[in-house]
């Protein structure tokens, strides 16, 4: 008689087999490829594409996520991901044979107009794909499948290594503007702020981009261009977001300008004339500190002009003029333009990298909050006056100016104005501040910040005669500039070129 296994033992055996099966299934599920574990950064994206039969691995069971992707491999992935088909199968590439593993996929994408080859008639199937090229593959594929998923491509530089002249500018700007419902994007740039347009993309990276793109394609999201570093800088600086850019010019090494983009119709001849007046005021060695000339408007009698750091070349600035304030009744207001230019020159000479140590980390911040935090830390570490985006150097113009003329009480009052809850309260505090210190500032605008006080006092130094009486602090501020021989030489040179109307102009009365 055979021994019977007790019922309890059967239960234990069954439980063991059940647990073993679950354990085996779980491990099998986690190990979709031999070289990828479930805690791998790109695991979910690779798993998603594997389950969709969009990607596969190598014969040895590996995926090799860090391998650089080839143009042929990407053709296959994109064709499968978006279920693309073409009626014609004509081969337009000299180096592509029917025996090529990726022949059908390449032909399909080419016939659909998604990709093209090189100017020599080749496709180079086994050449590595750059991140820029990959964005062209993907964006064209999505637009072909559902063009409504894309709105107008943002026409400004988001990444410093991808400007308007880059072949993949539109594709990269489109791809990085895709935002999923959970707030993530299908692809971002590097922590350095660059996109890495010419870097080769890996098999893992493309898995994430394709998986996220399909998520957007199937579940929706928003088409929202990311904040550029310059926009973050502008917001921190208090630049009005309602500023409307009308035209952007590139400033060449010979100080002439070339239009990059015109957003609204302007008189190009007038723009050139404005630039001529500006270059008549700003000496050539300082023109070399400028990258772009922008025409904008924020409405009449608001901001006349401005400069802001070129986030992609921190040694330089971009120069802005309010087109509608300066060009009225078909006439350039030369006095106003010359005055505004001198004021901005005051910023250029006091905020350049020879005068302050720029906090470069501000221009790699991803959010306004991160930028403000970095600025706060930089201000605490700065033992001199912190001038907008950098710590002023010991013997700099702005540090000497602030130490000489600004009291602790005035700086505290200014901080209180900045922190006012409403515009009405801020205006009242600003008005009170001015009347308490009426004789300390050459204009009302000068008390809005020490940097603006410097620029307004510098402008007064250029446009007005030397003060005979320095009883008032505002006249002492004008006299301050006469202690620097290089600035006196600059004054003499500028006064040769500006109009008589600009000399001794009372700008506050003039603007009323």
Cα(201)–Cα(186) distance, integer angstroms: 14
pLDDT of res. 239: 42
Task: Tell me what pLDDT residue 56 has.
Answer: 87
Residue range 449-483, pLDDT digits in tens: 999 999 999 999 999 999 999 999 999 999 999 99
Distance of alpha carbon 134 from alpha carbon 431, whole angstroms: 56
**321 lies in the same domain as 404:** no
pLDDT band of 157, cuts 50, 70, 90? low
DSSP state, residue 261: E
Tell whether 64 is covered by a domain: no
Pairing relation of β-strands 305-309 and 244-251? unpaired
Residue 42 lies in a domain: no
Question: Could you read off the pLDDT of 269-322 as tens digits, one per residue?
Answer: 999 999 999 999 999 999 999 988 988 887 666 678 999 888 778 889 999 999
Domain membership of residue 89 (yes or no) is yes
Q: Is the pLDDT of residue 18 over 70?
A: no
What local confidence, expressed as pLDDT, does residue 357 receive? 96
| More confident site: 246 or 31 | 246
Same domain? 180 vs 274: no
Closest by Cα among 446, 164, 186 to 312: 164
Identify whether 17 is part of a domain.
no
pTM for this structure? 0.61
Domain count, the chain: 3
Are residues 501 and 378 part of one domain? Answer: yes
Q: Given this model, what pLDDT does residue 13 score?
A: 36
Q: Please state, for a pLDDT cut of 70, what percent of the chain lies above it.
A: 84
Say whether both 235 and 216 belong to one domain.
Answer: no
Band of residue 155 on the pLDDT scale cut at 50, 70, 90? low
**pLDDT tens-digit readout, 94-128:** 999 989 999 999 999 998 888 888 989 999 999 99
329/363 same-domain check: no
User: Considering 191, 223, 255, which residue would you say is the last residue of a domain?
Assistant: 223
pLDDT of 230 higher than 50: no
Residue 7: what pLDDT? 43
Looking at the fold, whether 364 and 477 belong to one and the same domain comes out as yes
pLDDT greater than 90 at residue 238: no
> Assign residue 183 a region: left if phi > 0, alpha if psi is -120 to 50, beta otherwise?
left
- What beta strand segments (E) does 252-392 contain? 257-262, 290-297, 305-309, 317-322, 327-328, 331-332, 356-358, 390-392
Q: Can you give the pLDDT at residue 231?
A: 45
Q: Which residues contact 225 (CB under 8 A, 6 or more apart)?
A: 154, 158, 173, 176, 177
Q: Are residues 486 and 364 in the same domain?
A: yes
Domain-located, residue 63: no
Pick the residue with more confidence: 390 or 31?
390
pLDDT of residue 496: 95
Q: Is the Cβ–Cβ distance between 386 and 379 less than 8 Å? A: yes
Q: Is the pLDDT of residue 28 over 50?
A: no
**pLDDT digit string, tens, across residues 324-372:** 899 988 999 999 999 999 999 999 999 999 999 999 888 777 677 888 8
Percent of the chain with pLDDT over 90: 51
Place 186 in a pLDDT band, splitting at 50, 70 and 90.
confident
**In terms of C-beta distances under 8 Å and separation of at least 24 residues, what long-range contacts does 274-279 make, across chains too?**
274/321, 274/326, 274/327, 274/332, 274/337, 275/249, 277/332, 277/334, 277/337, 277/338, 277/341, 278/319, 278/321, 278/337, 278/341, 279/255
Band of the pLDDT at 227, cuts 50, 70, 90? low
Question: For position 504, what pLDDT does the model report?
Answer: 81
Within a domain: 460: yes
Lowest-confidence pick of 16-20, 184-188, 325-329, 412-416: 16-20
Q: Which residue has the higher pLDDT, 250 or 453?
A: 453
CA distances from 317 to 355, 356, 486, 494 (A): 14, 14, 21, 20
Please indicate, yes or no, whether residues 371 and 483 belong to a single structural domain of this protein: yes
- pLDDT band, very low/low/confident/very high, at 233 (cuts 50, 70, 90): very low
Give the residue with greater pLDDT, 488 vs 370.
Answer: 488
Q: Say if CB 474 and CB 440 are below 8 A apart.
A: yes
Q: Is 128 helix (H, G, I), strand (E, B) or coil?
A: strand
Does any domain span residue 91? yes
Instruction: Look at the alpha carbons of 221, 224, 229, 235 in this order and tell me if their dihedral is positive or negative.
Output: negative
Q: How far is CA 33 from CA 28, 65, 80, in A?
A: 9, 10, 20
Average pLDDT over every residue of 426-435: 88
Please name the residue ranges forming H helices in 408-484: 408-418, 423-436, 450-463, 473-480
pLDDT (average), residues 19-29: 39
Say if CB 80 and CB 54 are below 8 A apart.
yes
**Helix, strand, coil share (%) of the chain residues, nearest 5:** 50, 10, 40
Q: Is residue 314 part of a domain?
A: yes
Question: Which domain covers residue 109, as residue numbers?
Answer: 70-223
Q: Count CB neighbours of 120 within 10 A.
A: 8
Q: Is residue 477 domain-shared with residue 502, that is, in the same domain?
A: yes
Rounded to an integer, what distance in angstroms lies between the CA atom of residue 398 and that of residue 395?
Answer: 9
Do 81 and 179 share a structural domain?
yes
What is the distance between the alpha carbons of residues 474 and 366, in angstroms, rounded to a whole number? 40
Q: Average pLDDT, stretch 71-76? A: 93
Residue 434 has pLDDT above 90, yes or no: no
Pairing mode, strands 317-322 and 290-297: parallel
Q: Which of 203, 223, 243 is the last residue of a domain?
A: 223
Q: How far apart are CA 129 and CA 127, in angstroms?
A: 6
Dihedral sign for Cα 376, 377, 381, 387, please. Answer: negative
169 and 219 housed in the same domain: yes
8 A C-beta contact, residue 325 and residue 301: yes
Q: Which one is predicted more confidently, 371 or 205?
A: 205
pLDDT at 416: 92
Residue 218 shares a structural domain with residue 76: yes
Tokens representing 191 are 């922590």
Specify the pLDDT at position 250: 84
Q: What pLDDT is stored for residue 370 in this prediction? A: 84
Last residue of a domain, one of 165, 197, 223: 223
CB atoms within 10 A of CB 34: 13
Mean pLDDT of all residues in the chain?
A: 84
358 phi and psi angles, rounded to 5 deg:
-65, 135
């Amino acid at each position: 008689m055979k021994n019977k296994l007790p019922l309890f033992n059967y239960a234990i055996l069954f439980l063991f087999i059940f647990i073993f099966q679950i354990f085996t299934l779980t491990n099998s599920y986690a190990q979709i490829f031999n070289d990828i574990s479930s805690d791998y950064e790109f695991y979910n994206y690779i798993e998603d594409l594997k389950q969709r039969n969009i990607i596969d691995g190598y014969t040895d069971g590996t995926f090799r996520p860090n391998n650089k992707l080839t143009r042929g491999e990407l053709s296959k992935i994109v064709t499968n991901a978006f279920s693309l088909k073409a009626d014609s199968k004509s081969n337009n590439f000299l180096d592509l044979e029917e025996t090529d593993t990726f022949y059908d996929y390449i032909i399909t994408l080419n016939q659909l107009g998604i990709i093209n080859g090189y100017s020599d008639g080749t496709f180079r199937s086994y050449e590595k794909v750059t991140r820029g090229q990959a964005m062209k593959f993907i964006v064209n594929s999505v637009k072909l499948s559902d063009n409504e998923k894309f709105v107008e491509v943002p026409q400004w530089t988001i990444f410093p290594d991808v400007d308007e002249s880059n072949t993949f500018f539109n594709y990269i700007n489109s791809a990085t503007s895709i935002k999923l419902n959970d707030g993530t994007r299908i692809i971002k740039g590097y922590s350095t702020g660059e996109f890495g347009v010419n870097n080769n993309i890996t098999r893992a990276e493309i898995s994430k981009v394709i998986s996220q793109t399909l998520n957007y394609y199937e579940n929706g999201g928003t088409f929202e261009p990311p904040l550029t570093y310059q926009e973050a800088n502008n917001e921190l600086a208090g630049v009005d977001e309602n500023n409307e850019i009308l035209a952007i010019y590139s400033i060449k090494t010979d100080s002439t300008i070339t239009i990059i983009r015109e957003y609204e119709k302007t008189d190009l001849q007038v723009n050139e004339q404005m630039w001529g007046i500006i270059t008549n005021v700003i000496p050539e060695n300082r023109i070399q500190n400028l990258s772009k000339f922008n025409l904008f408007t924020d409405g009449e009698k608001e901001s006349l002009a401005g400069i802001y750091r070129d986030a992609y070349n921190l040694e330089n600035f971009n120069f802005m003029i309010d087109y509608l304030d300066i060009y009225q009744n078909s006439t350039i207001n030369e006095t106003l333009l010359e005055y505004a230019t001198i004021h901005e020159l005051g910023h250029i000479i006091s905020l350049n990298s020879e005068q302050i140590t720029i906090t470069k980390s501000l221009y790699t911040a991803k959010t306004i909050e991160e930028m403000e935090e970095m600025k706060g830390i930089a201000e605490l570490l700065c033992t001199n006056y912190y001038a907008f985006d950098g710590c002023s150097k010991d013997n700099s113009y702005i540090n000497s100016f602030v130490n000489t003329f600004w009291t602790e009480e005035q700086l505290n009052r200014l901080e209180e104005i900045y922190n006012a809850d409403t515009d009405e309260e801020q205006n009242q505090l600003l008005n009170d501040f001015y009347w308490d210190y009426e004789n300390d500032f050459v204009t009302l605008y000068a008390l809005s910040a020490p940097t603006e006080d410097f620029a307004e006092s510098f402008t007064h130094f250029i446009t007005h005669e030397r003060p005979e009486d320095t009883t008032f602090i505002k006249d002492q501020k004008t006299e301050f500039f006469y202690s620097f021989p290089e600035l006196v030489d600059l004054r003499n040179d500028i006064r040769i070129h500006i109009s008589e109307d600009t000399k001794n102009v009372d700008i506050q009365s003039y603007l009323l």
